[in-house]
Structure 1
Amino acid sequence: MADALRADPTHEIRAVLVTHVDTASSAKNDIAAVRAAIDSTGHPALLAVDAIASLGCDELRMDDWGIDVIVGASQKGLMTPPGLGFIWFSAKALAVCAESDLVTPYWDWKPRAVGEQFYQYFGGTAPTHHLYGLREALSMILDEEGLPQVWQRHRRLAKAVWAAFDAWGRGTGIRLNMADPVARGWSVTSATIPDGGAGALRRWLEAEAGVTLGIGLGMAMPSEPAYQDFLRVAHMGHVNLHMTLGVLATMEAGMQALGIAHGPGALAAAAGAAVG
């Protein structure tokens, strides 16, 4: 990325777009490092971050990390039904937007941020009931629990899930998608259970235990046998430790029922990681 910016003396590159946490792979990018890399080149490109899968779950610091634009949504860490999109922008980004020849009335930030009439904040009819839900979600995050505590809860839940998969994977083909813990998001975990084990486990959990795990996204085409080797465990939003430990215990029950090879001690490891 830095090399590409250095090779752009006329500043045709307007922005660097990066996903904070990728829902499909559960990979997390170091946003502060991206900002530092941009700054090292002296290039004026904006830093725009997709935080849909990290907002309200993973530590995110717009000002401290020098982020110019953040895009978020309501349906993950903010615990509100799908339908609300959010954008935060810096003074630098607003100045660039004001000079852009690509702004259309629908995508113009100014009426969205400082609209003279209520409908302008939404480009039309306001999603009123979503706003009531969002208000309650923000109260839960900021007033009842506190944002630092919310981040810490998600970190603990993620560590519990990772510890379980590490134990299941000893001597087997079960493994986490991201080997480096630093590169894993706190909101979702993507993993492999080979030989179709992930698909079989997902189906068993839905039919026998009422638990739904996420499908693997982007790892293989649905028509390919390898598609059944991947799954995702979500631990975002309104989720606590007893829910997560319950899901892990149910997953292990499913592995036993299906004869899926897995290492021992996963639940004890998860409990220890959650409180350690």
Structure 2
Amino acid sequence: MSSPNPVFIPGPTNIPERLRRAVDVPTHDHRASDFPAFLAALLEGLKAVFQTTRGEIVVFPSSGTGGWEAAVTNTLSPGDRVLAARHGMFSHRWIDLCRRHRLDVQVIEAPWGESVPLDAYAEALAADREHRIKAVLVTHNETATGVRSDVAAVRRTLDDAGHPALLFVDGVSSIGAMDFRMDDWGVDLAVTGSQKGLMLPTGLAIVGVSTKARAAMETAGCPRCYFDMRDMLGTTAGGGYPYTPPVPLLYGLREAVAMLEEEGLDAVFARHRRIAEGVRRAVAAWGLPLCARRPEIGSDSVTAIMVPEGHDADALVRHAYDRYGVSFGGGLGDVAGTLFRIGHLGQMTDVMALSGLATAEMAMADLGYPVTLGSGVAAAQAWYRETAAEAATAPAPAATAAA
């Protein structure tokens, strides 16, 4: 039997009933006369989510990783140099993907728990007088460590250096949950997936494409076929797909965009900040450190919590699921076994967050952690009560809208 409990992993996220109904549709002909109008409205709605008026949107049947691959292969050629920081599992995986496509990756190693090292980026760009670096990679929200990087600051670094490199952003666990401004931040390629802030099942990679990135496609030499953006952009401009699209997921995506519009993006971002702050206050009450090394870089979509020495975070995650039927995220890569993650993005309210915090406390108490039952919940409750009046004046959150 499927558990009725919410999940607290940073994706796939909880699916609102409204979206479950939206994807539960009979087969619809993607070559029918009404499909072009449907697709055009969907793509326009997604532009608002990416906060772009100048860019274009491509929706691939894929996970976010397919969006990464599309961004790389459509704009770069084997041997091209890209600049990237390795500071978490997902920045690491993007580096690995680039290397498999025979790109020359200039890697800046940074501590896991830190954001993109701006000074090191600035130094690398200033030293690249021949402009061999063709793209700069930024993981906006490093899901493995609960760390947010300053994309706008990376853009300023590029501009200050007078460097023409493309700016690629992994927004898989941020877009639709945290403020992301494609145009204002000068992002050339932005990638997200359907299963995070958009609250849908996994299956769609959504990529924002700037005019500059579109031009780069004409000379890019990496092989691509299924992920060829020129095919996609050329076909979707006429209201179609170059191959069979997952129409039910597209219906769900249209409804997800509508839910974000109804709540309002500013309210969506404020809700995530408020819930995240309550979780952080709970962690402080437990006396446990965050993986994020500085408060100002803490993520609003996932909190990564270091466990005390002598405890196995993976065992805690397993125990919470086996005993209480609740899923938390485990540690990945360099932080495996040392932390667990509480995802709080997408369909999430303070009441839901409190249930996750209470379950985490029970699981830690069961395993002998030095945590007092109720301490973290009480700290989060105090914050949510303090900010409840402000939250009540905002539009209904996604969970309410789904009812």
TM-score if structure 1 supplies the norm length? Answer: 0.88
- Pairing partner for 1:78 from 179, 182, 198: 198
Per-residue CA deviations over 1:158-178 (Å, capped at 9, x if unaligned) read 111111111101xxxx21101
Identity %: 42
Look up the match of 2:382.
272
**Letter matched to residue 245 of structure 1:** L
Asked if structure 2 preserves the Cα contact closer than 8 Å seen for 1:80 and 1:134, the reply is: yes
Structure-to-structure mapping, 1:1-276, within 5 angstroms: 1-102=121-222, 104-115=224-235, 116=238, 118-120=240-242, 124-143=243-262, 145-169=263-287, 174-194=288-308, 195-220=310-335, 227-262=336-371, 265-274=375-384, 275-276=386-387
**What's the C-alpha RMSD, in Å, of the aligned pairs?**
1.8
Greater relative CO, 1 or 2 (CA 8 Å, sep 6+): 2
Look up the match of 2:108.
none
Asked if structure 2 preserves the Cα contact closer than 8 Å seen for 1:219 and 1:230, the reply is: no
In the TM superposition, what is the alpha-carbon distance from 1:273 to its structure 2 partner?
A: 2.8
The separation in 2 between residues aligned to 1:20 and 1:32, in whole angstroms, is 10
Q: Residue 98 of structure 1 aligns to a residue in which SS?
A: coil
Per-residue CA deviations over 1:28-77 (Å, capped at 9, x if unaligned) read 11001100111110011111100001011111011111111101111111
In the TM superposition, what is the alpha-carbon distance from 1:134 to its structure 2 partner?
A: 1.1
In the TM superposition, what is the alpha-carbon distance from 1:217 to its structure 2 partner?
A: 0.9
Look up the match of 1:224.
none
Per-residue CA deviations over 1:142-200 (Å, capped at 9, x if unaligned) read 12x1111111111111111111111101xxxx211013222111111111112225334
The separation in 2 between residues aligned to 1:64 and 1:229, in whole angstroms, is 37
The separation in 2 between residues aligned to 1:57 and 1:218, in whole angstroms, is 24
Q: Residue 370 of structure 2 aligns to a residue in which SS?
A: coil
Asked if structure 2 preserves the Cα contact closer than 8 Å seen for 1:97 and 1:103, the reply is: no
In the TM superposition, what is the alpha-carbon distance from 1:117 to its structure 2 partner?
A: 6.3
Asked if structure 2 preserves the Cα contact closer than 8 Å seen for 1:53 and 1:76, the reply is: yes
In the TM superposition, what is the alpha-carbon distance from 1:11 to its structure 2 partner?
A: 1.6
Q: Residue 76 of structure 1 aligns to a residue in which SS?
A: coil
Q: Residue 202 of structure 1 aligns to a residue in which SS?
A: helix
The separation in 2 between residues aligned to 1:105 and 1:267, in whole angstroms, is 50
Name stretches of at least 5 consecutive residues in structure 1 with no aligned partner.
221-226
In the TM superposition, what is the alpha-carbon distance from 1:27 to its structure 2 partner?
A: 1.1
Asked if structure 2 preserves the Cα contact closer than 8 Å seen for 1:168 and 1:266, the reply is: yes
**Letter matched to residue 250 of structure 1:** T
Name stretches of at least 5 consecutive residues in structure 2 with no aligned partner.
1-120, 388-403
The separation in 2 between residues aligned to 1:86 and 1:110, in whole angstroms, is 15
Q: Residue 252 of structure 1 aligns to a residue in which SS?
A: helix
In the TM superposition, what is the alpha-carbon distance from 1:106 to its structure 2 partner?
A: 3.6
Asked if structure 2 preserves the Cα contact closer than 8 Å seen for 1:50 and 1:70, the reply is: yes
Structure 2 CA distance for partners of 1:156 and 1:101, relative to 1, 3 Å: same
Moved more, 192-201 or 240-249: 192-201
